[in-house]
A and B are shown apart, each in its own frame.
Chain A
């Protein structure tokens, strides 16, 4: 086997292995995560195009020393160093701002289901303000196919609520309420982690979200309320 294959083969396999799985941001299962994944792909392909462009320029001057020297250095700086990255960055920032606006929990005609995620070292407790009789649960239950607002709080230090396949991260800050809108397109089990280092038990501060059909979710809430 050629040495390049020994080095690059496992490296590519390792990289591609991150494209799916329970905690993959690229294996989106809801609109918020899909928007974030789209933004990642846009930035990825923009960086690929830029990298190839610079690589081609480098290859040309490597093969033909002096190529491009007829163009004034100031022109290279203005067009290659200011105009091109300025235009690309403006487009990328504009796209990111547009995506960011779409991720915010704006008011909806029909208010979404509201749940509370409370982080304490080193576990999450979930409660359901809309179902007052339901005690807190170690698994977060949500209805599938509709937006859910998660109010994230903390009882001690700063934690971060993150379900990579459903949405981005949001900090859990003591004395403060942050809200993130998530949605699971289909019923299923999704994994979440604490994404802010919070002490020796940080890596064990994982949790599970179960998305149910609307009827099954309401039945479950009734069952939980009745103990």
Chain B
């Protein structure tokens, strides 16, 4: 059945932010790795900068996913319909959070430079 009630634009924002933040984390980690190796940063500094980036991006995604889940639960509790876009956004942000943790985890233990 088609939804006729307007969907708030924030749900579209949540949908975009999920993998938008994931790709930002991915590019930032690559950039810090390349710049750190090119300018011979101390390994411990480079590692902690990368870990910091990974944690910040994961925390931001956790916030987006958390907000989305809370919004869904409140709507369900109040017997309000949850737009399809909001549901897709929730799953997408959770998937993006898992993907970000997965791709940034090696920052904790692999060699920084050759």
Contacts and interface: CB of A to CB of B under 8 A. Distances in A.
Interface of A: 90, 93, 97, 100-101, 104-106, 178-179
B114 interface: yes
Contacts of A101: 110-111
Contacts, number: 13
Contacts of A106: 111
A178 B110 contact: no
B106 A104 contact: no
Contacts of B102: 90, 93
Interface of B: 102, 106, 110-111, 114
12 contacts: A90-B102, A93-B102, A97-B106, A97-B110, A100-B110, A101-B110, A101-B111, A104-B114, A105-B114, A106-B111, A178-B114, A179-B114
Contacts of A105: 114
A178 B37 CA distance: 11
8 A-B pairs with the lowest CB-CB distances in the bound complex, closest first? A104-B111, A104-B114, A97-B106, A97-B110, A179-B114, A101-B111, A105-B114, A101-B110
A105 B113 CA distance: 10
A225 to B, nearest CB: 30
Contacts of A104: 111, 114
Given A90-B102, A93-B102, 11 more contacts: A97-B106, A97-B110, A100-B110, A101-B110, A101-B111, A104-B111, A104-B114, A105-B114, A106-B111, A178-B114, A179-B114
A84 to B, nearest CB: 15
A105 B106 CA distance: 19
A176 to B, nearest CB: 8
Contacts of B106: 97
A74 to B, nearest CB: 12
A45 B2 CA distance: 46
A97 B103 CA distance: 12
A170 to B, nearest CB: 9
A10 to B, nearest CB: 41
Contacts of B110: 97, 100-101
A90 B111 CA distance: 19
Contacts of B111: 101, 104, 106
Nearest to B113: A104
Nearest to A89: B102
Nearest to B110: A97
Nearest to B95: A82
A84 B111 CA distance: 29
Nearest to A105: B114
A119 B15 CA distance: 47
